[in-house]
Amino acid sequence: MTTERRRFIATGSGLVAATVASAIVGAPNVIAQPKVQWRMSTGFTPDFDILLAAAQRLGRLVDEASGGRFHIEVFPGGQIMPPLECFEATSKGTIQAFMGSPQYWNDREPAIEWFATIPFGMNPQGMAAWYYQGDGLKLMEEAYAPFNLVPRPAMSNAPQMAGWFRKRVTTTADFKGLRMRIVNLGGKVYARAGATTVLTPGNEIYAALERGTIDTAEWIGPHYDMQINLHRTARYYYYPGWHEPGTTLDFAFNKKAYEALPIDLRRMLDHATVAGQVYGLAEHNTKNAIALQQLKTEFKGKVEVLQFPLPVLRDLRKLAAEVVREESQKTPMTRKVHASYTKFQALITPWDRVAEGAYHQLVAG
């Protein structure tokens, strides 16, 4: 019995040792996987902290969720290429990803601008609902597909302000003859009201206002506007930002690079973009609230924060409806996207009015 027992123990121990040794040797082949290295360039220079931070946050979220298997190196605009060249570079596969704004790419396909915002359109919550509960994301993918890109909504930097004016605005006629810095569809509306619009890069707006090259300018909101000192160039700061009520930025990934990702990394990336929307909007709202309070206290008597008169807003809304209707007929894609957008806005607006409209009026009062 003693001999047999010793033989069993010796044999069993050998089998266990062999099994453990085999597992240790084989473990690297099971656990180790090739690391994915991407490069992302943005449409934003280092001056625009919240916007650039949104891209950096995406890289960090993906890196952490994947345990270091997936790394996205993020470059501010101007570091490895000019800010607005990131779309083309990602399309060609020179880099794997970019972050920018759909407003920047409307010369490729006018419908792309709808994925950012349109005048008197939906707010950030409405935009997010359209993307994930309506046809927004599906149509976005369809619009970017000809450019070899897989797009995703990035953070929202809305609501925005209407902009900085040297003179008070009392009627729509006050826009006539003004030289205004404003982009895209909003600019077309002001042009129809008699203004001359120009697209001045963000880092040049202050100098243009100070020199009198332009009379008025919109940028984003208090936090961003104060970063480039617009509060030192004009007295009257108007709201609401009717021209960009739900501005949503965009990520886009090279289609070949995206489809080459293992399915788990692909889903990590998708969900990280959604998380980035929440984090970015929270930061946007908080920092703008702090900056607005600073404007009202430290610059009291130098800056006036004013609402556009209601008759002016009604006139602008009428002109905006004309502009958007005309622009929505430019291509088959704009017709399709505009139809989806307006249908969803018609669905969600009555709920916004019932759920929040009266409440916000009461709280403001």
- pLDDT > 70? residue 100: yes
- Tell me if residue 37 falls in helix, strand or coil: strand
Provide the pLDDT for residue 364: 77
Across the range 181-195, mean pLDDT stands at 95
Using CB atoms within 10 Å of the CB of residue 75, give its burial: 0 to 12 exposed, 13 to 18 middle, 19+ buried.
Answer: middle
**Would you state the torsion angle of the CA atoms of residues 160, 164, 169, 174, taken in this order, to the nearest 10 degrees?**
-110
For all residues of the chain together, what is the average pLDDT? 91
- pLDDT > 50? residue 14: no
Using CB atoms within 10 Å of the CB of residue 210, give its burial: 0 to 12 exposed, 13 to 18 middle, 19+ buried.
Answer: middle
Across the range 35-64, mean pLDDT stands at 94
- Higher confidence at residue 30 or residue 75? 75
pTM for the model: 0.88
Across the range 127-145, mean pLDDT stands at 98
**What number of other Cβ atoms are within 10 A of residue 219's Cβ?**
22
User: Please, which residues have CB within 8 angstroms of residue 106's CB and are 6 or more apart in sequence?
Assistant: 112, 113, 184
Provide the pLDDT for residue 32: 53
- pLDDT > 60? residue 8: no
Provide the pLDDT for residue 33: 66
Ramachandran sector of residue 184 (left: φ over 0; alpha: ψ -120 to 50; beta: rest): left
